[in-house]
Structure 1
Amino acid sequence: MPPVCLMNLFPKSLKVSSHQDLTLSRRDSHMTLLRIPWTMLSFFKINLIAFLTFAGFSMKAAACILSVLWSLFCMYFRAKLPLGDPNDLSVIEAKLTWIVHIIAAILKIKQCTGCSTESQEVIDAELSARVLRLISATDSGLHSLRYGELSKQRLDRAILTFFQHFRKSYVGDQAMHSSKLYARLSELLGLHDHLLLLNVIVGKIATNLKCYTESEDVIDHTLSLFFELASGYMTGKLLLKLDTVKFIIANHTSEHFPFLVEYRCSRSRTTFFYTIGWLIFTEDSAVKFKSAMEPFLRVFVSLESTPDTMLRSDAVKYALIGVMRDLRGIAMATNSRRNYALLFDWLYPKHMAVLLKGITHWADTPEVSTPLLKFMAEFVLNKAQRLTFDSSSPNGILLFREVSKLLVAYGSRILSLPNVADIYAFKYKGIWISLTILSRALAGNYVNFGVFELYGDRALADALDIALKMTLSVPLADILAYRKLTKAYFTFLEVLFSNHIEFLLNVETNTFMHIIGSLESGLKGLDSSISTQCASAVDNLAAYYFNNITMGEAPTLPAAVMLARHIAECPRLLPEILRTLFEIVLFEDCNNQWSLSRPMLSLILISEQIFTDLKAQILGSQWTSINVFPCVLTNLWLMLPAA
């Protein structure tokens, strides 16, 4: 009989390169461990977890799996001796990977069905005990020299998947203490509570982080599990009791974790220090925070002492990349006012000059500028109201001044450089991150921006000027083509029209028309979140026009005079936007009609004649619906929000 391939049961990232590794024959006696023919499984290619649930997993099936696992484990244990054949070992590791994934799926049955029986807990304990015993062999003998082998990496990722499902079912905030499971694990392995099991899991996490230096997939999977444990309320508290975790927090350097010096794993650094920061702030200890920041302090001192002529060296380049990714992880973990204050006081003002020096010398190198800008984007984000300073504190203003310096330094340099083939990575990515930084700083509600104009400080004006220049340097077609750039651009415009509309009104008419035209393009887009932001911007513009021009005898404010001049030079501007809004609401299936109706009302109030003319135009173009359309418009008028 032809063999049945099980490769389609696993995620793409876990698949092997040949059928030999993960293929079983129907003649194999172990194929009877499930009650549904393999032909049905292969034909429908159903999910393994759903299949096991539907099949009705039993103790007999568990015994079959234990038998297979035990024979494979014996071969795997013998293969760790120097006499083992590497080719045979790869096949054994592939088979063990298959079995461990099945056991992980069996553990997940409890999550899918929502119920647990004592017999099921005993089965889970028996199967889990075998996998936990397997872990002790994977990192000893010849196996400890195979971290570069793909089959070894897949086995370790299968073990991580097992840990994830085991944690969700039997460890953590949502899992009840399962007496039968822990009683059986205590008999088999001496593991009788959550803390001991977490110690085993964290031990494997630490081993992976120490031994894997080039496998980005294993590192990312390991860090994902580590963060899941650290972010849980109960598991996070338990982790802090473990010596292994204390060691990781106290020794988070490349000397102990070599993957930190591998550039291919540099993105993993952010997750690593996000987890470490989460654990540090869980204890809420300023002393431990200061101790954990010592390695970063040494890097900053080294960078500060580097002469400007040496700042373009590779050593400085990789030091900047690493420390910016690391600090971004720490900043992501600051979720309270107290925690953020610890990081802010550590960084400002003593070390802030390093960021400005780095962006000044490396603006043309996205490898350096992107991590630096992303750190600043995280640092200025006022999530959970963490950027709440005392009423007598100038820290909010001082922080924005640093943001302004950074953006001006980056923007003035990136705009002077010629375009390259990969313009998104070289230019557009830095621009959208810069817009995100400024949008978050402007909307963070921790800066009184009136202070800058009052005291003649150009920090706000310079930041807005360079941001506008960066947006104008990107063609509208490119803005709409790149999703992240689109989101950052329209978020920036929404913030400007909401809080800094005078700045936009004082630009040249051509620039103003370009901005309004981009809003109209955003309204026509398929993304409802973007169209909502554009509608909000149009509503603020129309409201400003109504309050300062329509309701007044004559515009007196300089910004209102400029707006009147812009509209006079392009009288069809507002009617065209109103027409676009009507067409979207009346003829398209949009899920944000209420958001779109707000600017419609504001535009109608500016001039009722515009609405009358537009209604006549729409009625004339829709002659087939002429009897129904007036009623539709009347109903729509009644739906509009109150002024």
Structure 2
Amino acid sequence: MLENYVPTIVEGFVSTRFDSLQSEFLDELSENPLDNVELLQDQLDFCPQLCRFKYESCSSYIMKVMEPLLQMYMEWASVQPCRDNKELSLTEAKLAWLVHIIAAILKTKQISGYSGEHELLDAELSACIFQLINVTDNGTHRQRYGETSKQRLDCAIIIFLQNFKKSYIGDQAMHSSTQLFDRLSTLVGLHDHLQVLNAVTGKIATNLKSYTQCKEVIDQTISLFMELTSGYMTGKLLLKLDTVKFITSHHNKEHFPFLEEQTCFRSRTTFYYTIGSLIFLEDSLLKFKSSMEPLLQVFISLESTPDAIFRSDVVKYALIGLMRDLRGITMATDGRKTYGFLFDWLYPARTPLLLKAMSHWFDVPEVTTPLLKFMAELVLNKSQRLTFDSSSPNGILLFREVSKLIVAYGSRILPVADPADVYKSKYKGIWISLTILSRALSGNYVNFGVFELYGDRALVDALDVALKMILVIPLAEILAYPKFAGSYFAFLEVLFDNHLTFIMNLDTNTFMHIVGSLDSGLKSLNESISSQCASAVDQLASFYFLNITMGELPTSPAALNLVQCINDCPGLFPQILKSLFELIIFEDCGNRWSLSRPMLSLILINEEMFTSVKGHIVASYPLDQQQHLSQCFDKLMEDITRSLEQNNRDRFTQNLNRFKNGLRVV
């Protein structure tokens, strides 16, 4: 039986890992398995599946190996200076392997959901790690944060704490696992969830204070911190801890030096998202303002910086960090009240700095990208958090700030000659700007009619600059970058849906370019883009059918201009209809419903156009298949009336599905 060999397999695995450490230390150029956490976890996936058959003997063996190493490591903490740095590094490497193995074994709880004796054994193993945590940051070990072996050990400890959290700390485990905590109380004095959380957050705070340049340890630590705050009950418990109170009120570079390290800038957003999640759990304006004090001091410092030295590196890195931090805080606002805290804190006192930063740093993507991404998060109406009172002008005021920022960026970046890395330097900022506008235009918190009514050019200026930015870039370049293409077509969908008059007022060449790009987008392999283009085409074709084909003679300037554009481009609608039919016929589209909407609108505009497209497609088939294909086309329009009512649209979609099924016998 396999289970009889489990202890031997585990012993063999541990011994081979230890033996390999000697050669790895001798060959400094060889890759250490401990450096690739994802690959390491894949290698250790066998542990929970295998060890559960002989859990007691496996855990006993691991503790037998662990205890002398732990004792030796504790003794080294009091030696000044360390008597044998190489031997200490080897010990840390062995401990790291054992911690990773114990972390993997804890997954057994998640797989089988056991309790009783197995839970007690988990407590024995976990107690060893908590003892290790108590000593890793004491004595001599405080001087070793720059050592690779120490970093690997701390990464292993964080992985263990992540797995321990999933099994024993999450909201689902709050009222279970009493045997484990009773045993931990006896072994290491951790009596309940709160004390365990205190030990875990203590390690988190120590890592964030002590490591300044090891991105791996910092990222893993912040990830654990974020996971702890994700549960409501766990988050509430965290707020009781002094360590967490310190973090949420002293999150500055003086206490957490990694915030000043450029290689860790990306980590700041997650760190502040976690801090924001904790702040907003208390739902207190006073707590929010006090917690934002460190960021307020950065704002005040930047606002008082003279224009003459605003392009200095000190300002540059302060802006990058501040924008990443604010984006994290904004991501954490998940409701109307918490968003209101942040908006009132930012507007109007703090927003002028954003415009000043964009005006001075428009050509530096390291600054503009985090600034634009922060604004993209600020205008995103997720969970209906941007729901202002009916008498509040905040939605309009927010869009005016958006318009100023987009105009400031677009008007300055367009004249800049294309650099070697044009995507990073120009395209990325443009597609984020389009994302900002798309979210603001579709967020349903701005009455855009107010701008025209009162002669405010905020909307017109923003759309004009956006149009100039997309027209200056060849469509092939846009399609070459997936994120750019996604943002571009999402923007067009919003324009055609909510601001069709703006499109209809374009000159013929620009109109042709925009609508022609929708034809290219329909053929995209990305079904989301294809559906967005279909929606945009349907909005245009539906307007044409209802107001021009079936309506009286158009009188509005926009409608007259649309008629002129279509007359100047007679092949535009037929080409799009042909593309739609080719997609249905030759591709297995998962978004057939979306494609059916513009097809009906285009067919009803001009039945002769439909007849011509049908004849062209039928003629492209072999002679022996043309009659059957023609019959399929005839059935497509059965019971379809000259109407865009919902029931008529649904009937056409059903006919289109039968049309597609009928083609399979051709």
Residue 457 of structure 2 corresponds to which residue in structure 1? 458
Aligned partners of 1:49 and 1:109 also within 8 Å: no
1:350 aligned counterpart, secondary structure: coil
1:69 aligns with 2:66: yes
Aligned partners of 2:17 and 2:97 also within 8 Å: no
2:86 aligned counterpart, secondary structure: helix
Residue 49 of structure 1 corresponds to which residue in structure 2? 45
Residue 641 of structure 1 corresponds to which residue in structure 2? 650
5 Å matches for 1:191-206? 191-206=190-205
Q: Deviations over 1:262-309 (max 9, x none)?
A: 111112111111111111110011111111122222222222222222
Aligned partners of 1:303 and 1:316 also within 8 Å: yes
Residue 188 of structure 1 corresponds to which residue in structure 2? 187
Q: CA deviation at 1:642?
A: 4.9
Residue 599 of structure 1 corresponds to which residue in structure 2? 598
Q: CA deviation at 1:78?
A: 3.4
2:144 to 128, 143, 146: 146
Residue 363 of structure 1 corresponds to which residue in structure 2? 362
- Mapped to 1, the partners of 2:19 and 2:617 lie a distance apart of 58
Change (3 A) 1:603 1:310: same
- Mapped to 1, the partners of 2:585 and 2:193 lie a distance apart of 59
Residue 218 of structure 1 corresponds to which residue in structure 2? 217
Query: Counterpart amino acid of 2:150?
Result: K
1:134 to 132, 135, 156: 132
Q: CA deviation at 1:6?
A: 10
Q: How much identity, in percent, do the aligned residues show?
A: 62
- Mapped to 2, the partners of 1:90 and 1:17 lie a distance apart of 16
- Mapped to 2, the partners of 1:494 and 1:416 lie a distance apart of 27
Q: CA deviation at 1:5?
A: 6.6
Q: CA deviation at 1:582?
A: 0.9
Query: Counterpart amino acid of 2:629?
Result: F
Aligned partners of 1:567 and 1:573 also within 8 Å: yes
Residue 626 of structure 2 corresponds to which residue in structure 1? 626
Residue 232 of structure 1 corresponds to which residue in structure 2? 231
1:539 aligns with 2:538: yes
Q: CA deviation at 1:628?
A: 3.3
Q: CA deviation at 1:251?
A: 0.9
1:58 aligned counterpart, secondary structure: helix
Change (3 A) 1:17 1:233: farther
Change (3 A) 1:19 1:424: closer
Q: CA deviation at 1:336?
A: 1.1
5 Å matches for 1:464-479? 464-479=463-478
- Mapped to 2, the partners of 1:249 and 1:437 lie a distance apart of 29
5 Å matches for 1:37-436? 47-54=43-50, 56-80=53-77, 81=79, 82-113=81-112, 115-175=113-173, 176-436=175-435
- Mapped to 1, the partners of 2:519 and 2:595 lie a distance apart of 12
Change (3 A) 1:635 1:157: farther
Q: CA deviation at 1:602?
A: 0.9
Change (3 A) 1:350 1:21: closer
Change (3 A) 1:458 1:225: same
Q: CA deviation at 1:19?
A: 7.2
Change (3 A) 1:296 1:52: closer
Greater CA deviation, 621-630 or 409-418?
621-630
Q: CA deviation at 1:77?
A: 2.5
Change (3 A) 1:139 1:636: farther
2:171 aligned counterpart, secondary structure: coil
Query: Counterpart amino acid of 2:124?
Result: E
- Mapped to 1, the partners of 2:265 and 2:541 lie a distance apart of 47
Query: Counterpart amino acid of 1:502?
Result: T
Q: CA deviation at 1:627?
A: 4.2
- Mapped to 2, the partners of 1:260 and 1:466 lie a distance apart of 35
Residue 26 of structure 1 corresponds to which residue in structure 2? none
1:626 aligned counterpart, secondary structure: helix
Aligned partners of 2:48 and 2:106 also within 8 Å: no
5 Å matches for 1:7-26? 18=30
Residue 644 of structure 2 corresponds to which residue in structure 1? none
Query: Counterpart amino acid of 1:64?
Result: Y
> Which consecutive residues of structure 1, in runs of 5 or more, have no partner in the other structure?
9-15, 23-41
Q: Deviations over 1:27-66 (max 9, x none)?
A: xxxxxxxxxxxxxxx9xx9752245314524201110111
Change (3 A) 1:57 1:449: farther
Residue 664 of structure 2 corresponds to which residue in structure 1? none
Report the TM-score when normalising by structure 1. Answer: 0.92
- Mapped to 2, the partners of 1:597 and 1:213 lie a distance apart of 56
Q: CA deviation at 1:488?
A: 0.8
Change (3 A) 1:634 1:86: farther
Q: Deviations over 1:138-183 (max 9, x none)?
A: 1112221111122211111111111111111111212252122111
Change (3 A) 1:535 1:250: same
Q: CA deviation at 1:21?
A: 7.6
Report the TM-score when normalising by structure 2. Answer: 0.89
- Mapped to 1, the partners of 2:32 and 2:159 lie a distance apart of 22
Change (3 A) 1:200 1:597: same
Q: CA deviation at 1:418?
A: 0.8
Change (3 A) 1:283 1:613: same
Aligned partners of 2:76 and 2:82 also within 8 Å: yes
Q: CA deviation at 1:640?
A: 5.4
Greater CA deviation, 313-322 or 450-459?
313-322
1:561 aligns with 2:560: yes
Change (3 A) 1:356 1:466: same
Query: Counterpart amino acid of 1:415?
Result: L
Q: CA deviation at 1:213?
A: 0.3
Aligned partners of 1:5 and 1:19 also within 8 Å: no
2:45 aligned counterpart, secondary structure: helix
Q: CA deviation at 1:112?
A: 2.4
1:628 aligned counterpart, secondary structure: helix
- Mapped to 1, the partners of 2:366 and 2:19 lie a distance apart of 37
Aligned partners of 1:21 and 1:95 also within 8 Å: no
Aligned partners of 1:260 and 1:266 also within 8 Å: yes
Aligned partners of 2:115 and 2:177 also within 8 Å: no
Aligned partners of 1:382 and 1:444 also within 8 Å: yes
Q: Deviations over 1:300-332 (max 9, x none)?
A: 222222222221122221221121111111111
Aligned partners of 2:478 and 2:484 also within 8 Å: yes
1:174 aligned counterpart, secondary structure: helix
- Mapped to 1, the partners of 2:519 and 2:50 lie a distance apart of 52
- Mapped to 2, the partners of 1:583 and 1:149 lie a distance apart of 62
Q: Deviations over 1:333-354 (max 9, x none)?
A: 1111111111111111112111
Aligned partners of 2:249 and 2:292 also within 8 Å: no
- Mapped to 1, the partners of 2:634 and 2:212 lie a distance apart of 68
- Mapped to 1, the partners of 2:32 and 2:371 lie a distance apart of 46
Change (3 A) 1:119 1:49: farther
Aligned partners of 1:78 and 1:84 also within 8 Å: no
5 Å matches for 1:427-506? 427-506=426-505
Q: CA deviation at 1:417?
A: 0.7
> Which consecutive residues of structure 2, in runs of 5 or more, have no partner in the other structure?
1-11, 21-27, 639-647, 653-666
Aligned partners of 1:601 and 1:641 also within 8 Å: no
Q: CA deviation at 1:564?
A: 1.1
